[in-house]
Amino acid sequence: MASRYIYYIANGLAMLDDAFISDRFITKANNGFFEYAIGEDWNWEDFYRYMAWEGLHETTAFQTEIVDKGIKDKYDAYRAALEDYNLATLDCQ
């Protein structure tokens, strides 16, 4: 069931990116700064899809769609890039 909603969650995150992704991070990603970590060109569609899986990492769907397909390292690399380099401050009021 979780994998069914990933498309919608990813699209929602993409629409909110100005609220949770800093301009500095976007510039770094668009200029190839993270290519060494993910092993390919930065892909915003992949980024949002992987971020949509955040919080669902203990589900069977995550095991099937991410781990079993051998892309967990890429998921981890995108997540680490955001955690390590994003400077956006979330104001959740």
Establish if 92 belongs to a structural domain: no
Establish if 93 belongs to a structural domain: no
Domain that holds residue 48: 2-85
The reported pTM is 0.83
**pLDDT attached to residue 1:** 65
d(CA 40, CA 55): 25
Show Cβ contacts of residue 13 under 8 Å, excluding neighbours closer than 6 positions: 20, 48, 51, 52
Establish if 59 belongs to a structural domain: yes
Establish if 67 belongs to a structural domain: yes
Establish if 91 belongs to a structural domain: no
Establish if 22 belongs to a structural domain: yes
Number of domains, the chain = 1
**pLDDT tens, N- to C-terminus, the chain (93 residues):** 676 789 999 999 999 887 889 899 999 999 999 998 888 999 999 999 999 998 888 889 999 989 999 899 999 999 999 888 887 655 544
